[in-house]
Structure 1
Amino acid sequence: MENADAEYGGGGRAAPAAAALEAVVEPVVAVTDGTITYANGAAREAFDLSEDERADETGAGNWDAATGFESWSRLEAAIDETTVGTVRHVTLEGDADGYDARVHRSADGATVTFTRTTAETGAVGETESIGESDRAIKDRAINEAPVGITIADPDREDTSLVYVNDAFQEITGYSYDEVVGQNCRFLQGPDSSEDVIAEMAAAIDAKRPITVELKNYRSDGTEFWNEVTIAPVRDEAGVVTHYVGFQNDVTTRKEAELALERRTAELEYILERVEGLIQDVTDVIAGSTARSELEAEVCDRIAVESTYEGAWIGERNPATETVDVRTGAGRYPETGVSATADHPAATALAENAATTDTLEGTTHASFPLSYNGIEYGVLTVCTDRDRAIDERETVILSALARAVASGVNARETSRVLETDAVVAVEVALTDSSVAPVALSAAADCRLEYRRSVHRTDDETASLFTVTGADATADALEAAVADVPDLECRVIVERDGECLIELSGGDDLVGWLSERGVRTQAIESDDGRARLTLEIPRSANVRSVVEAIEDRYSGTDVISFEQRDRDSETRQEFAARLENDLTERQFGALQRAYLSGYFEWPRPMTGEELAQSMGISRPTFHEHLRTAEAKLSRAFFEEDQSSG
């Protein structure tokens, strides 16, 4: 070990290293050839080293080690056995000195740092608790502080550590002997921020305090986030003699902050990218006039998004057990996929749920196109990006798929009114939730569907003619009282027949209409109804029928028939009606219309019109009413009769 002047300085005032050791609360001495050449304040107080023997004011001196310590023989043996440049821990338990020691060996001697092990020592005739002294209280406070504390000496090579407290050892997993004499950078690792490290170095060079957060590594290699505060310690002359460091494990808080930052960044990323996509797809849905156009434009819009490689819409093909491609853009399987394959598109259709999987390095996310229980296919997007399609993006794309399905449903529903190519399906129902089934079971009557109208509250009211023994207002009202939520209004009552309006309860006709199905006929008696439905051939007829079977128990499919609707032009309809009217009936209807008779107020009376035809007023009204009846029958019924 170097001599005291070289090691700790001299020259009339405490050198920086000596000043630092004066601040250390543990006793520290330098020993060379059995002589104590330096003792800090804590050592001089603890071991009662005579002030008179001090050579100067720096702590340097010339004390006999054997006289200063009862345990000198054990310390001397440890010094001799310690290899130069290493540290040895010496247990002095049971000695009168009441300390353990750490021996730091150099070429010329050793530095010994003492750790208190017993509670009591003192002068002759007096017992004093060292633990209650000011220095011992500071010692205990630093050692028991809940944050790591280090002291580094800038005058030592690489600004190495000269002290660490217990909390530092607990936080890092390194022992005192492993770290004293090293620069604190041993805590850094591959993911420690170079910018933060440079920031700390700049603060140390500028001799100013700094607080940073840095990823550090424990002795076992595990990572932790360290809130590090470094502050310079200056002597009375303002010279920096040491740096004190405070380490606080903030891993839990930091990970929560980083997780929040990641979630926020992901949300902003998704919103920025998907918001425009949703708006564009919504515009496509609103502006397209046909299903094929809608589907193609949706796939095109998704495929041009920079984070997606492609998009396609497929449809289940029961005959081939495949999911066939209806349209696609960018990257997509032009031949489709097997309906039984381990592919997200097949799984999404089978489970009616969004499904994501990675196949051959490409992520496929598939979303069923389903609306009101009717399956319209599956939308699949593909991406090779590093960022996975997470839960938030899945929710957004699922909503987009529902919007597409709603648009397809609207196109298919409108096609039922426009197309002549339909599939006529006859089914039988016995489900008592269906109003005509329940009413025909509760009363001895037969119901025949006439027409439905949509009210302002979106409820559908259906007109039925009722025949049979119970075709009276009183009997029907009594029967309806036993059917929950069903309302029945008798519009016209004749002998053995009533015209009624049914509303409330299960809205069968409205439910079918929302799925693009036209109800042609409903005939119900004795708790059983037979329905004739028309579904566009372009629609997924199988899916519609399955939806009916799922919704209504006791459903039997009677027949399927592809056919074309009878198309009749306006001129053909007018010619047929004119042929059905007599000359007087046609004349009365034509004169009434052309003269404004159906307007209000009427510019001409019935009597004036009768006179213009040269007939009596009662005769004119008879011809007019008969013509009106034939016109109504031609509009509302398929079969007309002359008369």
Structure 2
Amino acid sequence: MDDVDTDHGGSVGDATAAAHALEHVVDPVVAVADGTITYANEAARDAFELGDADREAATALGASWDRLAAAIDETTVGTARRVDFEGDRESARLHRGASGATITFDRGDAGFDADTDSAADSRSGASDRIVKDRALKEAPVGVTISDPDREDNPLVYINEAYEEITGYGYDEVVGRNCRFLQGEDSDETAIAEMAAAIDEERPVTVELKNYRKDGTEFWNEVTIAPVRDGDGRVTNYVGFQNDITARKEAELALERRTEELEYILDRVEGLIHDVTAVVAGSTDRSQLENEVCARIAAEDAYDGVWIGERNPATGMIDSRSSAGDGPDDESVATDADHPAAEALATTEPAVDTVDGRTRAAFPLSYNGIEYGVVTIRTDRAIDDRETVILSALARAIASGVNARETSRMLATDAVVAVELTVTDRALAPVTLSADADCQLEYRRSVHRTDDETASLFTVTGASADEIAAVADELADVDCRIVVERDEECLVELTGGIDLVGWLSERGARTKTIETEAGRARITLEIPRSANVRSVVEAVEDRYDGTDVVSFQQRERNGETRQEFAARLEEALTDRQLGALQRAYLGGYFEWPRPTTGEELAQSMGVSRPTFHEHLRTAEAKLCRAFFGDA
């Protein structure tokens, strides 16, 4: 090959050298823009029988164009792909640019038998050379040509796209081996693969990190192919460069995120399992909190953890339990610039990083009741995915604390009696008392298997029909008349807003509800150890028109079973107690009955009506004692 003129600026010598090199490429090469062939080398002109007027790609390339056009649309600008064909033409390599695409067909495929020996005899005219020169210069990918006959196989031509990709000018590149773009982070395996391909005179495509003139890194997809003359001797190497930085960084970022997620899931899976076991197995709140902190601190990724609770009297968040690196201080102000304070204020996770140390706080809240905050310390970042997982862990902890506090409500005698008034018409008893001009008094609730709570109320001042008529107007409320008497009736209310069940889930026991003229007076009992303020605030948030009347600490009536039996026995006459005992021991309450009332009456030496009178009176006294009536 003749020496080329290395003067920069798109000289005739540059273009001639580049065009000369591509004319000797044995594989058909075409450049296409908007469905028009803007350049075709000699092999392509011969293979597709192209003339000066044959520039429509659909006409020139025939059936293969449909597949190529679809592939161009599917290929991201700045990247390349291999296109496989059906039938004889097996494959081509497509490089996509902003304004078009360059397509190199595999010469080994049937149907592309270019007669390179006749290349010199079929040169196009001056106008065709201009088109070829412009195609090389304006190709959408970086194009280089090197001369292996010179020492170190230097570059003899680069196009404008190459200059834009690398930042190097023509005079700074020509005469140098292409390895000058490589640096300390370039993949040695990819470099070795390119060197081996050149030694073996075969094409190769690799992806490796290169460096621009200003030192910035970019990912380069490099394709190098040998250019042969009519005798099959390699005269040049042509190279195509695509800046694939955006795609490569996206791929690497996806790989990193996948690895991080797998790491988090593998690590946190055991943590969640162990914490769940602690929540299920602990007997009280303190044990639960201590064991949870110990398990979280045992995780290598975390340096320490602590659980704190708001102290309304001091305005501080006091530490209840800790492990590893504990809290910054024994207590944190509720208005401090601290994640624990922010998490309690917003009821959302809060994360900050100071001097490379991360603090992540998660509110412990269940059914709207605040049970404190858990704060984790680590020397690494906690991302959004880990925050979601730790938030779920905090909810599990709060659920466990709620269960312990609810069970404590059943066992403790030390309670705080809270008296409230509520005027929210969302409560069915409030609306019934206002619209039916009556009084309702809460008697008892029954939790059914479908999680619905049925509450019994005695109603005075209105008939059963009047109550039923008002209840029919209430959405989602079912009112059933249980007993109707002259002066009062007993009704069962279900559906609507369930106050009693909702309070029970939050560790509060409903003692009394008395409603009159659209106002309910409610008495609750909450364990002294519970967060009384949080429960009351939850009621205030849920029900409009809630006012706190009083707080009172007191001891529940701690009557034992023996004391209850003794009190009931004292209330019964001998005849009533005898009738009750004989009925129970004689199987009178079983079905079918093994004995009759007549037989039991005879055993007591009384008439049957007298026996039934004693039995019913005893049953009434037993029910009053059990259900707490005076």
Tell whether the structures are fold-level matches, with TM greater than 0.5.
yes
Distance 2:188 2:173 in 1: 22
Distance 1:588 1:397 in 2: 62
Q: CA deviation at 1:288?
A: 1.7
- Matched residue type, 2:460: T
- Matched residue type, 1:383: T
Is contact 1:193-1:214 (8 Å) kept? yes
Q: CA deviation at 1:219?
A: 3.0
Of 373, 376, 398 in structure 2, the residue corresponding to residue 381 of structure 1 is 376
Relative distance call for 1:40 and 1:326 in structure 2 (3 A) is closer
- Matched residue type, 1:636: F
- Matched residue type, 2:531: N
- Matched residue type, 2:403: A
Listed one character per residue, the Cα deviations across residues 300-340 of structure 1 (whole Å, up to 9, x for unaligned) are 22111111111211111122221111111111126132222
Matched, 1:522 2:513: yes
Of 496, 500, 508 in structure 2, the residue corresponding to residue 509 of structure 1 is 500
| Structure-1 residue corresponding to 2:421 | 428
Of 203, 206, 214 in structure 2, the residue corresponding to residue 212 of structure 1 is 206
Is contact 2:283-2:404 (8 Å) kept? yes
Of 269, 273, 276 in structure 1, the residue corresponding to residue 267 of structure 2 is 273
Distance 1:409 1:203 in 2: 69
Is contact 2:19-2:133 (8 Å) kept? no
1:543 aligned counterpart, secondary structure: helix
| Structure-1 residue corresponding to 2:101 | none
Distance 1:190 1:338 in 2: 51
| Structure-2 residue corresponding to 1:287 | 281
Is contact 2:318-2:330 (8 Å) kept? yes
Relative distance call for 1:565 and 1:20 in structure 2 (3 A) is farther
Of 350, 355, 373 in structure 2, the residue corresponding to residue 360 of structure 1 is 355
Distance 1:489 1:40 in 2: 96
Q: CA deviation at 1:240?
A: 4.3
Distance 2:161 2:340 in 1: 56
Of 137, 140, 148 in structure 2, the residue corresponding to residue 154 of structure 1 is 148
Is contact 2:142-2:162 (8 Å) kept? yes
Listed one character per residue, the Cα deviations across residues 456-507 of structure 1 (whole Å, up to 9, x for unaligned) are 3211110001112x2x111111222333332211111111101011112111
2:152 aligned counterpart, secondary structure: helix
What is the 5 A alignment of 1:480-519? 480-519=471-510
Is contact 1:369-1:377 (8 Å) kept? yes
| Structure-1 residue corresponding to 2:330 | 335
Matched, 1:586 2:577: yes
Higher mean C-alpha deviation, range 282-291 or range 510-519: 282-291
Listed one character per residue, the Cα deviations across residues 104-123 of structure 1 (whole Å, up to 9, x for unaligned) are xxxxxxxxxxxxxxxxxxxx
- Matched residue type, 1:422: V
1:159 aligned counterpart, secondary structure: coil
What is the 5 A alignment of 1:82-97? none
Q: CA deviation at 1:571?
A: 1.0
Distance 1:260 1:176 in 2: 37
Listed one character per residue, the Cα deviations across residues 413-453 of structure 1 (whole Å, up to 9, x for unaligned) are 11111111111111111111111111111112111100001
Of 188, 196, 200 in structure 1, the residue corresponding to residue 190 of structure 2 is 196
| Structure-2 residue corresponding to 1:163 | 157
Higher mean C-alpha deviation, range 628-637 or range 259-268: 259-268
Distance 1:139 1:316 in 2: 78
Distance 1:489 1:528 in 2: 22
| Structure-1 residue corresponding to 2:45 | none
How many residue pairs get aligned? The number is 522
| Structure-1 residue corresponding to 2:137 | 143
Give the TM-score taking structure 2 as reference length.
0.78
Matched, 1:132 2:128: yes
Is contact 2:18-2:145 (8 Å) kept? no
Of 592, 601, 610 in structure 1, the residue corresponding to residue 601 of structure 2 is 610
Listed one character per residue, the Cα deviations across residues 522-578 of structure 1 (whole Å, up to 9, x for unaligned) are 111011111110001111000111111111111111111111111111111111111
Distance 2:3 2:577 in 1: 122
| Structure-2 residue corresponding to 1:569 | 560
Distance 2:549 2:128 in 1: 100
| Structure-1 residue corresponding to 2:255 | 261
Is contact 1:27-1:40 (8 Å) kept? no
Distance 2:252 2:570 in 1: 84
| Structure-1 residue corresponding to 2:25 | none
Is contact 2:511-2:523 (8 Å) kept? yes
Matched, 1:346 2:337: no
Listed one character per residue, the Cα deviations across residues 89-144 of structure 1 (whole Å, up to 9, x for unaligned) are xxxxxxxxxxxxxxxxxxxxxxxxxxxxxxxxxxxxxxx951225xx554343333
Matched, 1:415 2:411: no
Distance 2:595 2:19 in 1: 128
| Structure-2 residue corresponding to 1:67 | none
Relative distance call for 1:273 and 1:40 in structure 2 (3 A) is closer
Distance 1:318 1:204 in 2: 78
Is contact 2:349-2:362 (8 Å) kept? yes
Listed one character per residue, the Cα deviations across residues 160-204 of structure 1 (whole Å, up to 9, x for unaligned) are 211112221232232212210122233234543344334433444
| Structure-2 residue corresponding to 1:80 | none
- Matched residue type, 2:577: F
- Matched residue type, 1:357: D
Gaps of 5+ in 2: 22-123
Is contact 2:19-2:132 (8 Å) kept? no
Higher mean C-alpha deviation, range 184-193 or range 393-402: 184-193
Identity of paired residues, percent? Answer: 72
Distance 1:330 1:263 in 2: 29
Is contact 1:191-1:215 (8 Å) kept? yes
- Matched residue type, 1:358: T
Distance 1:430 1:534 in 2: 20
| Structure-2 residue corresponding to 1:109 | none
Distance 1:149 1:166 in 2: 8
1:444 aligned counterpart, secondary structure: coil
| Structure-2 residue corresponding to 1:303 | 297
Q: CA deviation at 1:375?
A: 0.3
- Matched residue type, 1:216: N
Distance 1:352 1:411 in 2: 21
Is contact 2:308-2:321 (8 Å) kept? yes
- Matched residue type, 1:348: A
Is contact 1:20-1:242 (8 Å) kept? no
1:158 aligned counterpart, secondary structure: coil
Q: CA deviation at 1:404?
A: 1.2
Listed one character per residue, the Cα deviations across residues 45-65 of structure 1 (whole Å, up to 9, x for unaligned) are xxxxxxxxxxxxxxxxxxxxx
Is contact 1:20-1:241 (8 Å) kept? no
Of 366, 369, 394 in structure 2, the residue corresponding to residue 371 of structure 1 is 366
Distance 2:18 2:604 in 1: 138
Q: CA deviation at 1:294?
A: 1.6
Q: CA deviation at 1:152?
A: 2.0
Distance 1:448 1:253 in 2: 71
Is contact 2:18-2:157 (8 Å) kept? no
RMSD: 2.5
- Matched residue type, 2:542: R
Distance 1:331 1:239 in 2: 72
- Matched residue type, 2:160: D
Distance 1:41 1:218 in 2: 26
Gaps of 5+ in 1: 1-17, 30-38, 44-127
Of 542, 545, 556 in structure 1, the residue corresponding to residue 536 of structure 2 is 545
- Matched residue type, 2:393: L
Distance 1:545 1:591 in 2: 49
Q: CA deviation at 1:153?
A: 2.6
Distance 1:462 1:282 in 2: 34
